[in-house]
Copies of this chain bind each other. A is one copy, B any other.
Amino acid sequence: MKQTHATLALLATAATLTACQSPAVDAIALRSMGSFHVGGREVVLSGKPVKEVLFTPGGVPAKVDPNGVYQAEQMYVQYFIPAQQRSSVPILLWHGGGLSGVTYETTPDGREGWLNYFLRQGWAVYNSDAVERGRSGWAQYPDIFKTEPVFLTKENPFERFRIGDGPGSYNKDPAKARLMPGSQFPIEGYDNFTKQVVPRWTSTDEATVAAYTALVDKVCPCVILVHSQAGQFGYRVAQARPDKVKALVAVEPAGFGDPKQVAALKNVPILQVYGDYIEQDARWPTIRGNGLKFLEAIRQQGGSADVVDLPKVGIKGNSHMIMMDRNSDQVAALIQNWLRGKGLTR
C-alpha cells in the first residue's frame, strides 16, 4: 500500500494542476446524444377489477384494465458522444443508492459535474438511472416488487454521508447546520441535493445487475465508474464480463463482488477512492475495510488494484458525495490521470 500511495500522491499533484488549467468555458461538441432503455422483463397480473380513470380534469374518463402484461425492471441510459473522442472506450457512470444519474450532472451548487468533465476530456459518456430509480420507472408493490420502498428524510443523507458532523448536525438553515470541519460539501446546495433523492428498494439488486449486464453487452468494452451502492453492481458485472470492462473506478463503494470469483478480475485495473472523515464514522471504517479486503483478494490472484484515500494525498474535506464536493474537478482529474496512466485515454 505504501508504494501505491506514493505513486498516487504524484497523480494527485498532477490532478491539481490539470483541474486549475482550463475553466469550463469552451463549447461541448457532440457527434450525437440520446437515450434508450435496456433489460427488464414482462410480468402478467390478473384477477383485478377494471377501473375508470379520469386522467385530466375536464377530460374524458378512460377504462383502465389493470390485468395484463407489465414492463418491469428496465433501465434508462442517456449518452453523449463527443465529436472528438480522445478515449479508446466509453465511460459508464453508475450512481449510488437512493439517487439517479442526476448524481453526475450539475453539482448542487451549480457547477459542471463529472458527466460534463469526462465529456470535455473526450470520453463518450453513458449515464444511467438504476432499475426502479428515476427515468427507469418502478413496478407496483406488493404485486411485482415484493417489498416496500425506502424513503429518506432530509436529515438522513446529511448525517449518513459524512456531510454533517454526526447525529443532530442537520439544520434547515445552512448557517446553523454543523458541517464536518473543513467540509468541501457545498452546503448552500444541500436543499438542491435532497431534491434529487428518489425512493429506492433494497430488493432489486439482482434485477439491477441483470440490466447493467445488458448495458455492458450493448455498449462495451468500456470503463465503469461506480459510486456507493453501485460498487456491488460494478464488481459483479465486471466479474460476469471481465473482457468488456477495461477499468473499474469505484468511488466509496458500499458493496463488492463475489469473493469466490475474484480471479475473474485479475486483468481489470481497479481504482478505489475514499473521501475524508472515514475514521470518525460509525459505519465507514468497516465498509472501507471490506473494500480493502476485496482488493487484497484480487491482488493475490495477480490483479492490479489501487486505493486512494484522498486525505492521504492532500485532498481533504470530501464527503461521501465526492462528485458534488467543491473540489469535485480535482478528484475527477485524479481519476482522469489514473485512466490515462492505464492507456485508456490521451
Give residues in A with beta carbon < 8 Å to B. 27-37, 40, 42, 45, 53-60, 62, 64-71, 74, 76, 78, 83, 97, 100-102, 105-106, 110, 112-113, 116, 129, 134-135, 137-140, 149-156, 160, 172, 191-192, 194-199, 202, 205, 229, 231-232, 254-256, 283, 286-287, 290
Say yes or no: A135 contacts B55, CB within 8 Å.
Answer: no
Question: With a CB–CB cut-off of 8 A, which chain B residues contact A32?
Answer: 28, 112
Q: Which residue of B lies closest to A150 (CB)?
A: B53
Which residues from B are CB-within-8-Å of A156?
64-65, 68
Contact B60 A106 (CB under 8 A): no
Q: What's the least CB distance linking A123 to chain B, in Å?
A: 15
Q: When the two chains form the complex, which single residue of B28, B40, B62 contacts A30, counting CB atoms closer than 8 Å?
A: B28
Chain B residue contacts of A106, Cβ below 8 A: 34-36
Cβ of A274 to closest chain B Cβ, rounded Å:
15
Find chain B residues with CB under 8 A from A135 CB: 100-102, 129, 134-135, 196, 198
Interface centre among A45, A66, A76 (most CB of B within 10 A): A76
Q: Are A140 and B199 in contact (CB under 8 A)?
A: yes
Assess whether B195 is in contact with A70, with CB atoms less than 8 Å apart.
Answer: no
Residues of B within 8 A of A42 (CB): 154, 172
**7 nearest CB pairs, A to B:** A68-B153, A37-B195, A34-B106, A56-B255, A137-B198, A74-B195, A60-B283
The contact sample of 26 A-B pairs, CB cut-off 8 A, is: A29-B29, A29-B30, A30-B30, A36-B106, A37-B192, A37-B195, A40-B195, A55-B202, A56-B229, A56-B254, A57-B232, A59-B290, A60-B283, A65-B156, A67-B153, A68-B154, A68-B156, A69-B155, A69-B172, A71-B154, A71-B194, A76-B102, A100-B135, A134-B134, A134-B137, A138-B199
Known: A29-B28, A140-B199. A102 touches B35 (CB 8 A): yes
Partner of A57, one of B30, B65, B78, B205: B205
Q: Which of B37, B67, B160 contacts A196 (CB 8 A)?
A: B37
CB distance from A12 to the nearest CB of B (A): 27
CB <8 Å contact, A55 and B287: no
Distance of A55 Cα from B62 Cα, bound (Å):
39
Given contacts A137-B199, A156-B68, contact A60 B102 (CB under 8 A): no
Residues on B with C-beta less than 8 A from A36 are 106, 110, 192
Which of A66, A67, A149, A156 counts the most chain B CB atoms within 10 A?
Answer: A156
- Of A29, A153, A195, chain B has the most CB atoms within 10 Å of the CB of A195
**Nearest CB in chain B to that of A294: its residue:** B58
In the assembled complex, the Cα of A307 lies from the Cα of B70 at a distance in Å of 36
Q: How far is the CB of A234 from chain B (nearest CB, A)?
A: 12
List of B residues within 8 angstroms of A198 by Cβ: 135, 137-138
Known A-B contacts A68-B154, A69-B155, A135-B100; A116 and B34 likewise in contact (beta carbons under 8 Å): yes
